[in-house]
Amino acid sequence: MAKVTLKGLSHSYLKTQSSDADWAIRGVDIDWNDGGAYALLGPSGCGKTTLLNIISGLITPTKGDILFDDKVISGLNPVERNIAQIFQFPVIYDTMTVYDNLAFPLRNRKIPEEEIKVKVHEIAEMLELSSTLNNRASGLTADGKQKISLGRGLVRSDVNAIMFDEPLTVIDPHLKWILRSKLKELHQKINRTMIYVTHDQTEALTFADQVVVMHEGQIVQTGTPVDLFEKPKHTFVGYFIGSPGMNVLPCQIKGNDVIVNGKKIETHQQIKKSNFNKTEVGVRPEFISFSNEGIPVKILSVSNTGRHKIVDTKSETGKIKIIAKSNEDIPAGSAFLKFKKEYTYTYGDSWIIE
Amino acid sequence: MNKTINQKAWFFVIPVFVLVAFNAIIPLMTVVNYAFQETFGNNVFMWEGTRWFKQIMLSERFHASLGRQFLFTFIILFIQIPLGIAIALTMPKEGIGVPVCLVLMSMPLLIPWNVVGAMWNIFALPDIGFLGHSLNALGFDYNFTQQIGDAWFTTILMDVWHWTSLVVLLSYAGLRSIQPAYYQAAEIDGASRWAIFTKIELPKMKKVLTIAILLRFMDSFMIYTEPFVLTGGGPGNATAFLSIDLVKMALGQFDLGPAAAMSLIYFFIVLLVCWVFYTLMMRNEEKS
């Protein structure tokens, strides 16, 4: 078990770097407490797998340091770092039984066979694999195999951190729920640092206490699921998290006033500076309501998802989505929108203006 | 479920049937024809029943060449399969080295078989050949045309040179198809290099290796051209493998009946070994 710290971490797969785009990740600083459950969330290609492989030691970063419990471990190999990693596709040793698969990491570390037996049975019990221990691992279903991969990480009681690289990709949807809650439950039981990489917001938000959102190799926000939802620090977080994502509209800042479509609107922050190339206002569809005055829009379409209605509207400067209660009456033709002040933010060059 | 019965569908099978008939069944039937009869030419045949089969099965000459054949095939498989895997493991995985190695490896496979035989014949000549002359210069008494051991050594070396590449290419393809995650997981699990080889690489290469062994078994069991050009089956009958012996019998002595019977027995041995081997290798696959 360990506290994981990343300091000024940058990595490039190229030998020379000329622009920001040449870096897979750049300037990443993270502090993860011992025993926490963390998620790295971002779209494909944002650098999250690179970051994970750097932590586990499969990739050596171009710049920066990795610390476990405040000790620099950048030069150590994966075995010395003593971490466990679960990959996107279940990795099992085909020719071995389930038992041998689980015992493999322990046997490699020359642990006495009696001790291995106790440990393997304990983990098998936890993962509900006990009945299949003597079967060949290759005969199991995808979720069974993924449980074995997970089990191989869990049998070592002294691992510093367990890392998951989109572990539910190949699992059937109905089993995803079961495995995900199993992971959560395991985390509470064994209390080890767990780092979970995914592009699926539901997975990240349900698994982790703290979610790190990555975008183009950078961390754009770290926070609890509620933080990410209620106060996105970057427009990317706004539309990547939430379904549908945040509405982002161009705006003008005049003095302390924020103007959208010619109308002054109230936002959460006090605007102090305004020297940005691009200024925008962001508000989630959940925090918009129909009103008698405000931003004028044309209603384009209404779709009912069962739990609520999603209304597509068009304003002068862009489309706006609204989430309305399923029993709410939607005005036809044109309407006026009002944004909830506490959840409306102004962004300068995509970053929130504090 | 009700199947639609439509006998007209048989017409679609005709082209395949005709093709197979011309390239396999009809030639094979002429052999079968000879195997049960005696002929003195002029299209006169006499029924002999199973006489030729009994004769071949009891003939010491056949036993000897069959034994030589199995020994040869066993030796070359024993060398080529491990050697091929070893070379594939050391081949580069990326960069300019990959195409260079692949092309170099394919070279021996592209040379016509009788050219291989002729090449090695000249290469191994004790007086003027590079190999033969060098060995003698180093103090070895080497002469593949007169000494049985040297003839075997040269034939085996030639086959290893000619065909190991096939095993290399197949193994390399098998190795390249292993997902990097397996190596990463093994690294994290603390597996030794040997454990990675036996627990990941070998099991993942199982299918291509099965194909490699089957191909090498069949080809080496039917080998003819190269030893024929290299040693002509000699010295004496020392390197007269089944095919060489068969041709001697059929075309040298014109014993068409026994030769036909021998061909059929030969054919069934190849079929049987392949079937047994394949069934054994794939038995576990179906279970899982």
Alpha-carbon gap: A103 to the closest alpha carbon of chain B (Å): 10
Q: Is A82 on the interface with B (CB under 8 A)?
A: no
| pLDDT tens digits along B112-136 | 999 999 999 999 998 888 999 999 9
Q: CB distance B199–A105 less than 8 Å?
A: no
Q: Token match 């739990």: residue?
A: A307
CB neighbour list of residue A200: distance below 8 Å, 6 or more residues apart = A166, A168
Alpha-carbon gap: A98 to the closest alpha carbon of chain B (Å): 13
Q: CB distance B185–A149 less than 8 Å?
A: yes
CB neighbour list of residue A45: distance below 8 Å, 6 or more residues apart = none
Domains and their CATH numbers in chain B: 27-58+255-288 (no CATH), 68-241 (1.10.3720.10)
Q: Which of A50, A55, A95 to mutate to test the interface with B (most CBs of B within 10 A)?
A: A95
Q: How far apart are CA B262 and CA B58, in angstroms?
A: 11
- By DSSP bridging, strand A161-165 and strand A334-339 are unpaired
In chain A, which residue's Cα lies nearest the Cα of B196? A93
Can you give the pLDDT at residue B87? 95
Q: Is A108 on the interface with B (CB under 8 A)?
A: yes
Question: Residue A59 CB: number of other CB atoms within 10 A?
Answer: 17
| pLDDT tens digits along B233-278 | 878 888 889 889 889 888 888 888 888 899 999 999 999 998 998 8
Can you give the pLDDT at residue B288? 44
Q: How far apart are CA A275 and CA A250, in angstroms?
A: 15
Structure tokens at B113: 């078989």
- By DSSP bridging, strand A351-352 and strand A344-348 are antiparallel
Q: Any idea what DSSP says for residue A262? A: T
Structure tokens at A111: 């642990």
- A-chain CB neighbours of B287 within 8 Å are 136, 139
Structure tokens at A268: 């959460």
Q: CB distance A136–B191 less than 8 Å?
A: no
Q: CB distance B190–A108 less than 8 Å?
A: yes
Question: Predicted ipTM?
Answer: 0.72
Q: Which residue positions in chain A have pLDDT lower than 70?
A: 1, 273-274
Q: Name the strands in the sheet holding A263-265, side by side, starting at the edge strand that comes first in the sequence.
A: A252-254, A257-260, A263-265
- A-chain CB neighbours of B189 within 8 Å are 104-105, 108, 152
Q: Is A104 on the interface with B (CB under 8 A)?
A: yes
pLDDT band with cut points at 50, 70 and 90 for residue B1 = low
Average pLDDT over residues B146-158: 92
- Give the containing element (helix H, strand E) for A303: strand A295-304
Interface of B with A (CB under 8 A): 179, 181-182, 184-185, 187-192, 195, 199-200, 203-204, 287-288
- What does pLDDT average to over chain B? 88
Residue of A222, A247, A244 whose CA lies nearest to A233: A222
| pLDDT tens digits along B197-218 | 998 999 899 889 999 999 999 9
Question: Residue B217 CB: number of other CB atoms within 10 A?
Answer: 18
Question: Residue A143 CB: number of other CB atoms within 10 A?
Answer: 19
Can you give the pLDDT at residue B286? 55
| pLDDT tens digits along B3-39 | 777 888 888 899 998 998 888 888 888 888 888 888 7
Peptide bond into B235 cis (omega under 30): yes
| pLDDT tens digits along A28-72 | 888 888 888 888 888 888 888 888 888 888 888 888 888 888 888
Q: Any idea what DSSP says for residue A97? A: B
Q: CB distance A96–B192 less than 8 Å?
A: no
Can you give the pLDDT at residue B285? 64
Alpha-carbon gap: A58 to the closest alpha carbon of chain B (Å): 7
Q: Which residues of B113-134 are buried (b: 16+ CB within 10 A; e: fewer)?
A: eeebbebbbebbbbeebebbbe
Domains and their CATH numbers in chain A: 4-230 (3.40.50.300), 245-352 (2.40.50.140)
Q: CB distance B181–A88 less than 8 Å?
A: yes
- B-chain CB neighbours of A104 within 8 Å are 189, 191, 199
Can you give the pLDDT at residue B164? 95
In chain A, which residue's Cα lies nearest the Cα of B183? A91
CA distances from A277 to A91, A242, A269, A319 (A): 48, 27, 19, 21
Instruction: Name the residue among B192, B199, B287 with its Cβ closest to that of A93.
Output: B199
Residue of B235, B88, B75, B274 whose CA lies nearest to B160: B75
Can you give the pLDDT at residue B77? 95
Structure tokens at B258: 């026994």
- A-chain CB neighbours of B185 within 8 Å are 85, 87, 91, 149, 152
